Structure 1
Amino acid sequence: MTKYKFLLLLFSFSKFCANAQIRESQEKKFEQSYTLLNSMLVNENNYSFKKAVFSVENAFLDNQLDTIFLNKQIKSLNSLCNSIINERELKYYEKDKTTVNKWASVFQVMHDTIPVNINDTIYRYIPFGYDFNDVFGHKTRENLFVSKLLQTHKGNCHSLPYLYKILCEELGTKANLALAPNHIYIKHRSIKDGWYNTELTSGIFPIDAWIMASGFVHIDAIRNGVYMKALNNKESIALVLIDLADNYNAKFPNNDGTFVLKCAETAILNYPNFATALILRAETHKKQMKKEQNQEKAKQMLLDLEKEYTYIHEIGYRNMPEDMYLNWLITLKTERNKYENTTLKK
């Protein structure tokens, strides 16, 4: 072997080792995030939706998330919410007024232009808007992140309800996430109005008929809690676990599925009919089946896979094409009078 070939081989080996170390470091961040999320499921005293969301985003960003900036932004928004609560009188007179007032203030911060007085100078607070660019995070997962939303004030049906829930919890109240096809929104329950929907992408309160109008909500999906269910905190963390798994797949597309399945199984354990988690588990099993060299084992994996997909169909899940989703989303504005809950005055 010539000296040149030896040096080239040594360089290649060194580069391989360096890349392996980088990947090991990156994967460690994902494992740390999983450990944090799992601890919130095991011990409710560890629960923090904000910490859960940012840990997942930080793992994808290789520990480069500027949490100091993000926490300052959230603290500022929290202060604005408290100012709204203290300075205006909400025309709501039931005994849960304090809670409803907090929800209303967060909604206003998310969607209203607000005059802010700083040292006798009036500034205009600009609310958050919808970003139709890469709605599903196909180009980059960062377009789904709350951190991106806080930096740009533009988000989507993933980051907007996540931030809403974070702000509510910062105020000491809760907000229930809820699912529709390809979509996340908020469900609240007040004494006066009962359960009602809060839609962050368009800033209105749609009736359930709007969700049904998508054409992809089977009655079994409602009955089995696939869609339109007010998710509790554990079920919300299950959503974040699947975010973690999807981020991992985006970061390491050729992974063996072990970490992804761990996330999916934990999510399903805490939210059994979470369709996205069930689909991710099945799709991961399909990838593993295609790589299986043992024919008998591959046949059994195929039978198991058929059972998984059958169950997903039985609980009422129906796939909604992305272009149809976007058209459905737009109907909230084009047909607002048809779908808005007019009994809510906020």
Structure 2
Amino acid sequence: MKFSKIKSFIRVLLLFFSVGISSQTLPEVKPKSGLVPQIPLYPYGRQQSNPHDRQSASPYNNGQHNPYRLNELSDIQKRNAAMIYEDMRHYQRIQMEMQRQSNIRMLIERSFPSQADIHNTSAYQHAFNEIEGMLKGEQPMNLGRVVFLVENAYYEDSLIYDAYRKAIQAKAQLCNDKIKEGKYDRNNNVVKNMMLFSILTDTMKIRTGGRTLINYPLKYDLDDYQSRISFDSHFVTKLMRTGVGQCQSMPLYYLVLAEELGAEAYWSTSPKHSFVKIKDENEAWYNLELTCGAVLTDAHYMNSSYIKVEALQSRTYLEPLDKVNTIARMLIELAAGYYDKYGMDDFYLKCANTAAQYLANDLDALLCKAAYETRLTLILANLLQASNPEALKAKSPEAYKHFEAMHDLYKQIDDLGYEELQEGVYAQWLRHIAKLKEESEKRDKSIFLPLPRD
């Protein structure tokens, strides 16, 4: 789901820095921001493909000899050309070493360089400011607006908010029309939630605006449910445009519509997955599984989602997230999109740190910060030519502090009971849930809770 790219990256790096690192050589890491520019080793650069240009630009050109054609040079000219070439190579090595030392100092003192001056990063800063304003209570919290801000920033401020709002309102109106048509209690929270769930997961006819429409259910994205092909495959706006989504976009879309309807619903998570929680008048909780249109209990997730005891004790998973927590978690989404487009810098870290201030459970914020410290540690180790932690500490105690910070973050993550699911486990779980739904429908044709009528 949402953080599959970041989580997979962290897991690979965590394995790399586990037992046995002292016997390994650190791979070269090239940050997106281009920390280590490559200096050409040829005096005129290979990009100059026209031999004429090189000849006319040469200080040795007297109209008779090309200094690059060594077979036409005298012995003295050959020695001079070789000396000049070696001098230039020496100069370039000095320049590269100076650049390396400069990069090391910059990373230790100021961390990754800011990308704030890059075109369109301002959309991310604007989104952050507005979301932070909601969390601080400076403006009303609006999840629908937050989802738009996060995705619009990734699309470089190209989405139209009015069109987005009208689409949300139209879908919510269908739900209200169906409630009215069935003569259900329009003020009942269970009614609003179950009708919304029905509209998103079932095919039905709806009488609205003097005509009858056929409503079709959402489809699950079997091709790119982990956002590996396209980063935006988990976006709500992509789901609204195509009718195809996955275990992040479907619950978020539901919550945005519930907000529009005035229904009480909550976001919740299990490993590599998210879903919607609602409760009835008796305070009993139900999990709305939009990926397969089933209503499940917590036991299904505990038995099939590989949730560790530590995760249950720390309340890492299966907990209902209120609106503050949901909006704070969207800052992690903002950071993920920013990283995909621009790499890591102070903005990425600011999103994680701000989210952590408001999250009851800061697992996602810790994962972001661990990714940041891991990338920083590996780049420093590469620049310092340190093949193991001991060498890193000997060459730069300041750089070694980032290695220690990285491991401290991973310890906090492990203490919360986090464990990355193996490839294929999530797909297996989805098949299991689909089978449970099938068996349930054979026993009882309705998967919905009893709906109070007017």
TM-score by length of 1: 0.86
**SS class of match (1:46):** coil
1:182-236: CA deviations, max 9, x gaps?
Answer: 1110111112461111111111111112111235211221221210000011110
1:30-89: CA deviations, max 9, x gaps?
Answer: 011111111111107420000000001000001111323322211111110111121114
Structure with the largest fraction of helix: 1
Q: Which residue of 2 aligns with 1:283?
A: 371
Which ranges in structure 1 are unaligned for 5 or more consecutive residues?
A: 6-19
Q: Which residue of 2 aligns with 1:205?
A: 295
Runs of 4+ in 1 over 4 A off after TM superposition: 20-23, 118-121, 337-343
Structure number with bigger Rg = 2
Q: Which residue of 2 aligns with 1:28?
A: 122
Cα gap change, 1:284/1:339 in structure 2, threshold over 3 Å: closer, same or farther?
farther
Deviation at 1:24, TM superposition (A): 2.6
Contact map agreement 1:207 1:339 (CA 8 A) in 2: no
Contact map agreement 1:245 1:264 (CA 8 A) in 2: yes
- Provide the identity percentage: 28
Deviation at 1:337, TM superposition (A): 6.1
Structure number with the bigger relative contact order (C-alpha 8 A, sep ≥ 6) is: 2
Q: Which residue of 1 aligns with 2:407?
A: 306
Q: Which residue of 1 aligns with 2:169?
A: 75
1:101 partnered with 2:191 = yes
1:151 partnered with 2:241 = yes
Alignment partner of 1:59 out of 124, 149, 153: 153
Distance across 1 between alignment mates of 2:247 and 2:430: 10
1:191 partnered with 2:281 = yes
TM-score by length of 2: 0.66
Alignment partner of 1:333 out of 417, 425, 434: 434
Which ranges in structure 2 are unaligned for 5 or more consecutive residues?
A: 1-43, 45-52, 55-113, 385-394
Alignment partner of 1:43 out of 123, 129, 137: 137
1:263-298: CA deviations, max 9, x gaps?
Answer: 111111211533222111101111112233571112
Q: Which moved more, 1:115-124 or 1:52-61?
A: 115-124
Q: Which moved more, 1:227-236 or 1:257-266?
A: 257-266
Q: Which moved more, 1:156-165 or 1:302-311?
A: 302-311
**SS class of match (1:53):** helix
Q: Which residue of 2 aligns with 1:11?
A: none
Deviation at 1:310, TM superposition (A): 0.9
Contact map agreement 1:209 1:339 (CA 8 A) in 2: no
2:230 is aligned with what amino acid? T
Cα gap change, 1:339/1:179 in structure 2, threshold over 3 Å: closer, same or farther?
farther
Distance across 1 between alignment mates of 2:305 and 2:256: 30
**SS class of match (2:294):** coil
**SS class of match (1:168):** helix
1:327 is aligned with what amino acid? Q
Contact map agreement 1:193 1:344 (CA 8 A) in 2: no
Cα gap change, 1:291/1:22 in structure 2, threshold over 3 Å: closer, same or farther?
closer
What is the aligned residue count? Answer: 325
Distance across 2 between alignment mates of 1:70 and 1:247: 20
1:152-179: CA deviations, max 9, x gaps?
Answer: 1111111110010011110112211001
